[in-house]
Each structure stands twice: as C-alpha cells, then as structure tokens.
Amino acid sequence: MTGIEREVLSTIQEMFEAIEEKDLDRLSAHYSQDNDLTAFLPTLPFRVDGYSQFWQGMEDYQAKRTASRVEMFQPKVQIYGDVAITTFYSTTRVYAPEASMPQGESPSPRTHTARTTYVLHKRNDKWVLVHTHVSAL
C-alpha cells in the first residue's frame, strides 16, 4: 500500500470516528462544501445533489440515533492524480434514540452492511469527499 493510499484510508477513518462521536463540525470538514458533492444512499430513492441537501440529511440522521460504530472491510484505493476512488464493505452499528425506549431498557443495536464507494478529491493538500454511493446488502 502506498503512502497516498494510507492517507486516503486515514481520512475515511477520521470521518468514521467523527460519525461515532457525533462531531458534525469535524465530519463536515471532510466533505466538499459546494454543489460538487453527490450521493446515492440506500435510504433515499433519488440522488442527493450538493452539500446543503446532503448535510441536512446528515443532521437529521445524527439527531435520530444515540451511537454508531462504522467498520470498513476489504478496502481498495485507486488513485488517479488528485482523485481517489475507494471501494469497501461497511458495517454500521446504530442504536435507536433512548427517548423512544421504555424506561429502564437500553437501546438495541441494528447493524447495516453495505457496499460503499467514496470518491475523494485532493484540495489544498486535503482529501475531501465529492461522491459516495452506498448500497445496502
């Protein structure tokens, strides 16, 4: 694995850690913050276009759950100049909000497994996500 490939995977791992910690400011720094950002997500029937539309969905998603753990399996990084395409399997463990649980019960985790593609673009010495495609398994 090359140093650039490790750099890309490290960026993705930082994104996962920000998701787990519900640190939206830290997470948003890893996304293209313009209309270049696009996404295909298993929870939506249409493509998400632009940072504003994507980020509204992310804020709604983060507000609906208490914790999450994201893991990556079999990552492959392909570098084309200042563009990196990363494909991997992902497993996300999500807990339902505690407010929806009967008193005295703890939330039960749900696990989502998916095929995931991240396309990152190197801008100002930093890799930012410009496209993602997540297909639930």
What is the per-residue pLDDT across 73-108, written as a single tens digit (0 to 9) for each? 999 999 999 999 999 999 988 776 655 556 666 667
The predicted-structure confidence for 25-57, as pLDDT tens digits, reads as follows 898 999 999 889 999 988 888 999 999 888 776
Q: Please tell me what DSSP assigns to residue 54.
A: H
Under DSSP, the state recorded for 31 is B
| The two structure tokens encoding residue 10 | 């490290």
Fold held by 3-136:
Nuclear Transport Factor 2; Chain: A, (3.10.450)
pTM of the model: 0.85
54 or 58, greater pLDDT? 54
Chain centroid to CA 37: 13
Greatest pairwise CA separation for the chain in angstroms: 54
Average pLDDT over every residue of 64-70: 70
Predicted local distance difference test score (pLDDT) of residue 103: 66
Between residues 81 and 62, which one has the greater pLDDT? 81
Enter the DSSP assignment of 57: H
* Confidence category of residue 127, pLDDT binned at 50, 70, 90: very high
